[in-house]
């Protein structure tokens, strides 16, 4: 049996494990380890993945072992990394395989907790419900989660106080990810009719979550319009830059509207754009950013520029190290090329 190295989770150091040890720990982690130990183990394995010492499949194996856990802090740790993996490490050809794995792994958790709150339930369940809706909807494209999100979003737009705020935020994000022009228009109408700042910004910061290029283009144009305050403009632009679906569109927009972006975003706009570019994980975008910012220097953001380049290069290195292994792991789990073959035959 595998032994947890940092028992109690009190040591200020990282621990490394062989793949077989992780498999053994995963089998009983949700029962035999404390929540702190589970979080520490997840963090240690993820840290090893990030530096190339551990295959990402080991982390996903460990994540599978955490699905009987109902501690929001533990599962949120898992969800954060599933979001990262889905955004940065999954190749397009393995996308459906990854989504299928997310659905298979997390749908039982969602069914156990339920999509509706019940009297007397733990506060943790409310947090988990929102996080599950987001990860199943965005990374799993689970039909049930998508339907629940659309229903809750429409309910939120009718009466913002009728849906728990965390759940409403998750629902709007998921609905936008799969949203059409009609839903975009609903969201804009809700934004303009918002009665409180909280309600306004909930809708406002959902706009970058759409994946339709035309709708993201509308968001970028809206960001530099007189309808958006200068302190808010860069939030929208940065949101689209951070989006897998919108990053190329957003960078092309920033390049071609540089003066307008600087004017709309205020004195720190160009520096914020430099920071936001660090969310890219694409060699062509990296080179484009480097060339453009070398020609349009931002003196106040020289250090931020170097850091953004380092982040992009680090992400590219990680993707090179892990994407192939992830594809093999997904195929072994019944996704990957098997899923691709099924989808290609349709």
> For residue 18, how many other CB atoms are within 10 A of its CB?
11
* Euclidean distance between CA atoms 76 and 84, whole angstroms: 12
Q: What is the mean pLDDT of residues 177-195?
A: 96
Q: List, for residues 41-56, the tens digit of each pLDDT value.
A: 999 999 999 999 999 9
At residue 132, does pLDDT exceed 70?
Answer: yes
pTM: 0.91
At residue 244, does pLDDT exceed 90?
Answer: yes
The structure tokens 């369940």 sit at 125
* Euclidean distance between CA atoms 52 and 47, whole angstroms: 9
Number of residues in the chain? 346
Q: List, for residues 309-344, the tens digit of each pLDDT value.
A: 999 999 999 999 999 999 999 999 875 544 444 444
Q: How much is the mean pLDDT over the chain?
A: 92
Model confidence band, residue 32 (pLDDT cutoffs 50, 70, 90) = confident
DSSP sequence for 205-225:
TTGGG---HHHHHHHHHHHTS
* φ/ψ (deg, to 5) at 231: -70, -10
Model confidence band, residue 266 (pLDDT cutoffs 50, 70, 90) = confident
pLDDT of residue 3: 67
> For residue 31, how many other CB atoms are within 10 A of its CB?
9
Task: Please report, for residues 96, 250, 262, the alpha-carbon distance to residue 270 in angstroms, rounded to integers and kept in the order given.
Answer: 37, 14, 6
* Euclidean distance between CA atoms 210 and 246, whole angstroms: 9
CA 232 to chain centre: 21
Lowest-pLDDT choice from 98-112, 116-130, 254-268: 254-268
* Euclidean distance between CA atoms 252 and 35, whole angstroms: 45
pLDDT of residue 106: 98
Q: Are 176 and 207 in contact (CB under 8 A)?
A: yes
Query: Ramachandran region of residue 228, left (φ > 0), alpha (ψ -120 to 50) or beta?
Result: beta
pLDDT of residue 170: 98
Query: Ramachandran region of residue 141, left (φ > 0), alpha (ψ -120 to 50) or beta?
Result: left
């Amino acid at each position: 049996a595998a032994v947890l190295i940092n028992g109690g989770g009190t040591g200020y150091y990282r621990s490394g494990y062989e793949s077989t040890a992780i498999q053994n720990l995963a089998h009983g982690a949700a029962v035999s380890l404390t929540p702190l130990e589970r979080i520490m183990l997840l963090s240690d394995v993820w840290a090893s993945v990030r530096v190339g010492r551990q295959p990402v499949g080991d982390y996903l194996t460990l994540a599978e072992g955490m699905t009987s856990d109902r501690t929001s802090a533990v599962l949120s740790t898992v969800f954060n990394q599933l979001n990262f993996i889905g955004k940065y490490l999954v190749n397009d050809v393995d996308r459906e395989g990854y989504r299928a794995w997310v659905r298979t792994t997390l749908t039982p958790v969602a069914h156990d907790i339920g999509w509706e709150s019940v009297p007397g339930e733990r506060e943790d369940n409310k947090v988990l419900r929102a996080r599950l809706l987001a990860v199943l909807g965005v990374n799993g494209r689970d039909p049930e989660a998508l339907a629940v999100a659309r229903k809750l979003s429409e309910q939120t737009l009718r009466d913002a106080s009728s849906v728990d705020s965390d759940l409403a935020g998750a629902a709007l994000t998921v609905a936008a990810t799969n949203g059409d022009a009609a839903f975009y228009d609903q969201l804009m109408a809700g934004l303009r009719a918002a009665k409180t700042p909280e309600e306004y910004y909930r809708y406002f910061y959902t706009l970058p979550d759409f994946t339709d290029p035309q709708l993201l283009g509308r968001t970028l144009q809206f960001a530099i319009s007189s309808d958006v305050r200068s302190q808010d403009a860069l939030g929208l632009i940065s949101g689209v830059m951070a989006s897998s679906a919108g990053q190329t569109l957003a960078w092309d927009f920033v390049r071609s509207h540089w003066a307008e972006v600087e004017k709309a975003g205020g004195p720190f706009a160009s520096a914020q754009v430099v920071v936001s570019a660090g969310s890219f994980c694409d060699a062509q975008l990296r080179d484009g950013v480097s060339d453009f910012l070398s020609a349009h220097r931002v003196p106040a953001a020289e250090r931020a520029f170097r850091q953004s380049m380092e982040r992009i290069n680090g992400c590219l290195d990680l993707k090179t190290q892990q994407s192939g292994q992830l594809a093999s792991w997904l195929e072994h789990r019944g996704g990957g090329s098997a899923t691709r073959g099924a989808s290609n035959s349709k």
